[in-house]
A and B are shown apart, each in its own frame.
Chain A
């Protein structure tokens, strides 16, 4: 199944333990270039831990992780210029305006003149669907949806190859959530991005993701949506048999049919 695909993120034999509780036990995962991979799992199955391990924010007990061919070590610089992360609540720096937040990574990782930095930041802010009025505001003056967009603009500031999204549509109303899904699709198609997203939103899952990785039994099962719904695992059956998931799947099929 993995033949013929270039793996941009490679995880081998990942083990994560918290005291007596083992969350991941010998987990393997390969993320392909230019795909959108959705990461799902019940609470406590270690979605966030997996994401934080990939980002070098959590020290796994065992295992190797490589991103873009570069091994990831706990709290050491990784491929910072090639990945962007959208944290759950945006994690914008509260003392800076949106404009300054987006300029920050550019200023940290390049010696571009101020005007160029500013223009690039404005470009990114427009790209995520915000305008200059929002650019001058502080994060606490923005709505939840705008905060997510602003944070996405910051994640995209350095032209990353990989985008990590942690619950991108959590806390958004359905209209904003659908818009955000559209934005992710659009960016992925237009910027040659690989996207890894943790999500609970079945609409996002069916509307955006190429493949789904389900965390079950301390390991991971990865497949396309079409295939994974047929998997016999009880949790997967329950998850995708849920009325919401069934509705989302039907809606996605209709969209694809049109």
Chain B
């Protein structure tokens, strides 16, 4: 009739003979077989283990559960003829069932209050962010006032890691952006026979906006994530606690060098970015648009003055501060799990890019108002 049991009915007794392997792997079939047993008017059910081969906890559990179902229907369930080596599994289940107390609602899903929870999270995050930014700002100020040797060395290392190492990729991106700008502006200016104004467009947008913006976004992706991941891992492995008990302020040793390092590195990186962008423009001018290198540099000298260069460069330290603070802050917020680390690293990058763009639009409006 079935692979795992045979059923005999004797007057008021239901005799169930177990056979084959009652083990974890066969659990689905076992469940099926047990569910198919029908009761008529029996008063007793006997599980007998004549042909039972392998038995394990999962098998014992499913057997016990079914026996309990029978008891609920008013039958008395008995286990007969089990060998000791088999019965010990069953004994196990019986013992555990005796101490198992369900906490009501333990497995029920928690009710969701999206609005209330949302507001609560918003408030909590705001307080946390204000608190941390203040804390870090104070630590940075203290660090600048009383720089320790440790900080200087680490800062230089950070300038290298976040700035020098990023030069090739930032220059590459800006060079390509210069090419794109030159092409797009030339297409429009050609209609008026004013090709030479391509230089104005490329130079102004690179110096005032794109050079620093692209450098900052690349750095946010490279270093913002690195800050968050490094500090988060240190937090998880208790390295930060170790620094604390050694009497070192983690802000002093970990955050300040990163913030200062990036604030030094990003303006310098912007210079490289600007140069690469101009090079891209000039390259397209010379090869495609009939504006040779000399004409490009003449026009450049006419259209650009110190202000334009400074507009870009003054933004760089602010962007750097935003990237470094977001990255380190999110890193320090990691606690508990590896997944949290991944989530906060993503948050660090997304937020720093968002903040960069917000800050850039503010700068643009302010500079336009004061005629800088």
Contacts and interface: CB of A to CB of B under 8 A. Distances in A.
Interface of A: 81, 94-95, 110-112, 116, 118-120, 122-124, 126-127, 132-133, 135-136, 138-140, 158-159, 190-192
A138 B27 contact: no
B28 interface: yes
22 contacts: A94-B336, A94-B337, A94-B338, A95-B337, A110-B25, A112-B27, A118-B107, A119-B61, A119-B65, A120-B61, A127-B92, A133-B103, A135-B106, A139-B337, A140-B335, A140-B336, A159-B24, A159-B58, A190-B92, A191-B56, A191-B89, A192-B85
A123 B96 contact: yes
Interface string B83-123: 00100110011001001111100110000000000000000
Interface string B218-251: 0000000000000000000000000000000000
Q: With a 10 A CB-CB cut-off, give which of A119, A123, A140 has the most chain B CB atoms.
A: A123
Contacts of B101: 132
Contacts, number: 62
Contacts of A122: 100
Given A81-B25, A112-B27, A120-B61, A126 B339 contact: no
Interface of B: 23-25, 27-28, 31, 56-58, 61, 65, 85, 88-89, 92-93, 96, 99-103, 106-107, 335-340
Contacts of B57: 123-124, 127, 159, 191
A124 B61 CA distance: 11
Contacts of A119: 61, 65
Contacts of A158: 24
Nearest to B96: A126
Contacts of A112: 27-28
A65 B100 CA distance: 41
The 3 closest A-B pairs by CB, nearest first: A94-B337, A95-B339, A140-B336
A132 B106 contact: yes
Given A122-B100, A127-B92, A132-B102, A159 B56 contact: yes
A123 B61 CA distance: 9
Given A94-B339, A116-B27, 14 more contacts: A81-B25, A94-B336, A111-B28, A112-B28, A119-B61, A123-B57, A123-B61, A126-B99, A127-B57, A135-B106, A138-B337, A140-B335, A159-B23, A190-B88
Nearest to A139: B337
Contacts of A111: 28
Nearest to B100: A126
B24 A140 contact: no
Contacts of A81: 25
Contact of A116 (B23, B31, B107, B337): B31
